[in-house]
Amino acid sequence: MNPKVDFYFDKAKKWQEEIRKLRMIILDCGLNEELKWGCPCYTFRKTNIVLIHVFKEYCAVLFFKGALLKDTNGILIQQTGNVQAARQVRFTSVKEIARVERILKAYIYEAIEVEKAGLKVKLKKTSDFTIPEEFQTKLNRNPALKTAFKALTPGRQKAYIFYFSQPKQSKTRESRVEKCIQQILNGKGLND
């Protein structure tokens, strides 16, 4: 146990018993405990394997390379369609955790083996994502915008593509594009 991480388990108003149980299970697998992104993160040879995080309706263990696990028990969840590598196992009670403890440990050991083998999740490139028509039109009409967008990091490009793609109505997509043009021209990401 890393004393720097203790506060996370002490401050939890909800899911405290559940996350303490998850902590014991994960530490029993021989991983190192660190604090990353404000959450308990468990590493093997300084590489992230799993982390514990809490939400309003559940607590979860997140496998960083969960997409590479076999998931023979069908317990891994892809948070959203845009999440490429990570997978969660969600819990709402200590009983649920106890019921799958053996399975959870097997998944953790498998995740360690994935890391030992040096396996990587093949991530989609920005070019694999469909650019919404409203944004593509602006890019075609404005060479400076096209150049500025291409100069952004792949992560920033994806963030804009996802943001512009979300609304169902073309009018809303167009409005979002308009609001972000200057930011893109300034070389800034969506959340900069």
User: Which CATH number is associated with domain 3-116?
Assistant: 3.90.1150.200
The closest of 68, 66, 61, 19 to 42, measured between CA atoms, is 61
Instruction: Give domain limits for the chain.
Output: 3-116, 126-185
Give tens-digit pLDDT for 25-76.
Answer: 999 999 999 999 999 999 999 999 999 999 999 999 999 999 999 999 999 9
Q: Element (H or E) spanning 176, and its range?
A: helix 170-185
Give tens-digit pLDDT for 171-187.
Answer: 999 999 999 999 999 99
Is the whole model's pTM more than 0.85, yes or no? no
Give yes or no for residue 129 having a pLDDT over 90. no
Give tens-digit pLDDT for 67-126.
Answer: 999 999 999 999 877 788 999 999 999 999 999 999 999 999 999 999 999 999 888 777
Report the alpha-carbon distance of residue 137 to residue 114 in Å, rounded.
43
